[in-house]
A and B are shown apart, each in its own frame.
Chain A
């Protein structure tokens, strides 16, 4: 069967500062993001505080995930065996092109012109919708937020609530236009009801559904999907054919492990004790659900990450987005500034690694390293540690190129390292600084402008001029024992 390749240019791949500068201009988006993340964070904190064993749950979740990654080949094969035995079909896709090819072929085999979809970031990652459309298949997003993004020809900005950057009034305007409902109200209830009636007929009619998966369960060959609206259950149970595309890192050893993740995921993701619906199933079950079930196991840059012992923990992620909601940078920029399917702190470490550090190289710097992301992470991914580790990678790779080695930045940092290594060198640099700063110091003793890349500091703050006497000079003169100027009797003099 024929296959046309779509031009996928959804993400521009600009660097973070450039993209962030643009989104920061939009004060409405900033307001929406700030409001939504504040609401969700307060709810999350309240339901997490309820559990006296929260830290034990985090620890167990982290260990189960780390263990699975350490034996990923074993657990994937176990999943494959058990899923196949239960009547499912397991496919393997090294990259996005293969995943798209497999899914299109399955859709074409059933002569489907439309497919209904549950929100899946993995499908976003491989550009599945564009690929289906290029080949004459219409993908219909059924998650409310994904529907908002799709109808608005927008991009997701958050992987739990992809339309978090829009408020109710903006959603109403777009629904009025796209669903031809001029009288639609703007209460969230009105908007949900509009989505219900718009999609109902499609759930009942469309014969092929595509989903992602929250967990692949090795010992039962099952899949678990968590959701709120029931659109997931509709897609999982009504069509004849179900295709789930899932990253290889989503496997867990045992059904019992869900007793950890079904506690930590909903509380972290939506601040609920439990989200409205969780579904688990194995293969096909006669008389209940699809007659045909396919799982596409997607690598697409994941397996090489396992080789990096410090960064491997990135793959423990269960996509709760708590790190986005807690991040002071994300609060300001929202998701679009990351120019990536995966935004926020986890996106800042996952995206560059998925692309072997060839894309998203500015993302490890999109953080103040405050550590809030690590504190809320339900599987204890030490995101700040990985951010620093990846910054080191970026720097070392840059230093390996001619342009990088002789860049002003690298020369500056190398010089700084050289000076800080030795007290005499530092003292000499201080002398030069005291003299060199003179033309820059204003009357009140502040530096308001610095040259070259140093202006990053003075753009938004003034720098106190260096004093005539450095602390080390003062110490040597006043306080150091056995120095000529010291009359210290050991009890301290004037403080």
Chain B
């Protein structure tokens, strides 16, 4: 039986035989750079328009949308938790203390295993960037966002998005996260859902079934 190195050589050899040519790396890079990218990179929406579009998209996914200022943030979080009947949430390391209202239990859960997270009432996190056009929040393994399991295993996710983190288009979001693309990254667009039965989107399968987003503007 051929070993692994043989399979590698066989595949690369077959590809080269099929293509017939071998191009130097510099020429490949030049060819790649010349690919026309005439699709829209940005939009002409202003800050307010971006925020409104983002809120609309989130509501269409059946996510909860709330507004706050930096000063009122902890108060708004308290109201949401009370309305949801939550007494406390898991949080990633690095969540600023001034987000957290008094009277609720917040525990840093970065090192929790899945069984521990499964018992939590939900998770509160920030994000790296948010995309208005698609209603997406992008989380990376960074301060106030934590490991991927945090925003996955608990059934409720409350996400804080600051105005300066919102962009209009997908290309703008990639421009922002490109430098940190090595980090584990998750795009979240609404609560978990499936369209597997009769192609109808229904909410609530394995990821959090409930998603609330607080939009913070000054």
Contacts and interface: CB of A to CB of B under 8 A. Distances in A.
A, B co-complexed: yes
Interface of A: 32, 35-37, 39-40, 43, 52-53, 56-57, 59-60, 63-64, 67, 70-74, 76-77, 86, 91-94, 98, 101-102, 142-145, 148, 161, 163-164, 167-168, 171, 188-189, 191-193, 195-196, 199-200, 203-204, 217, 220, 222, 228-231, 233-234, 236-238, 248, 253-256, 258-260, 262-263, 266, 270, 272-282, 285, 287-289, 297, 299, 303-307
Contact of B187 (A91, A92, A199, A277): A277
B198 A168 contact: yes
A304 to B, nearest CB: 6
A60 B15 contact: no
6 contacts: A94-B7, A98-B7, A220-B181, A229-B205, A237-B184, A303-B11
B135 A274 contact: yes
Contacts of A259: 170-171, 173-174
B18 interface: yes
Interface string B20-45: 10110100100110011111100000
Interface in B180-218: 181-208
Contacts of B185: 279-281
B205 to A, nearest CB: 4
A279 B148 contact: yes
A238 B147 CA distance: 11
Interface in B84-143: 110-111, 114-115, 118, 131, 133-136, 141
B198 A74 contact: no
A229 B11 contact: no
A94 B191 contact: no
Contacts of B19: 70-73, 306-307
Contacts of A37: 199
A229 B206 contact: yes
A5 to B, nearest CB: 12
Contacts of A277: 186-189, 192, 207
A273 B133 contact: yes
Contact of A287 (B31, B111, B187): B111
What 8 A-B pairs have minimum CB-CB distances, sorted nearest first?
A230-B207, A306-B18, A307-B18, A230-B206, A229-B205, A274-B134, A288-B147, A145-B196
B23 A74 contact: yes
B38 A276 contact: no
Contact of B199 (A36, A253, A260): A36
B205 A144 contact: yes
Nearest to B190: A276
A307 B57 CA distance: 45
B197 A188 contact: yes
Given A188-B200, A289-B148, A303-B15, A71 B28 contact: yes
Contacts of A230: 152, 192, 205-208
A263 B32 CA distance: 20
Contact of B202 (A192, A273, A303): A192
A246 B186 CA distance: 20
Given A39-B198, A288-B184, 15 more contacts: A35-B198, A53-B39, A70-B19, A94-B2, A161-B195, A188-B198, A203-B206, A256-B174, A272-B201, A274-B134, A277-B186, A277-B207, A281-B184, A285-B183, A299-B10
Contacts of B207: 229-230, 233, 276-277
A163 B196 contact: yes
Contacts of A43: 199
Given A228-B192, A258-B174, A237 B18 contact: no
B46 interface: no
A420 to B, nearest CB: 36
**What does DSSP make chain A's interface, helix, strand, loop or mixed?**
helix
Contacts of A199: 206
B199 A161 contact: yes
B12 interface: yes
B206 A234 contact: yes
Contacts of B135: 273-274
A248 B196 contact: no
Interface of B: 1-2, 4, 7-8, 10-12, 14-20, 22-23, 25, 28, 31-32, 35-40, 57, 61, 110-111, 114-115, 118, 131, 133-136, 141, 147-149, 152-153, 170-171, 173-174, 178, 181-208
Contacts of B136: 274
Given A53-B40, A145-B196, A74 B25 contact: yes
A39 B184 CA distance: 34
A56 B18 contact: no
A256 B178 contact: yes
B108 to A, nearest CB: 13
Contacts of B37: 56, 60, 260
B10 to A, nearest CB: 5
Contacts of A193: 204
B18 A303 contact: yes
A142 B207 CA distance: 12
B205 A237 contact: no
B36 A63 contact: yes
Given A258-B174, A259-B171, A60 B39 contact: yes
Contacts of B208: 230
Contacts of B25: 74
Contacts of A275: 189
Contacts of B1: 101
Given A36-B198, A63-B36, A288-B147, A204 B192 contact: no
A299 B201 CA distance: 34
Given A204-B115, A255-B174, A148 B196 contact: yes
B206 A73 contact: no
B152 A306 contact: no
Contacts of A262: 170, 187
A143 B197 contact: no
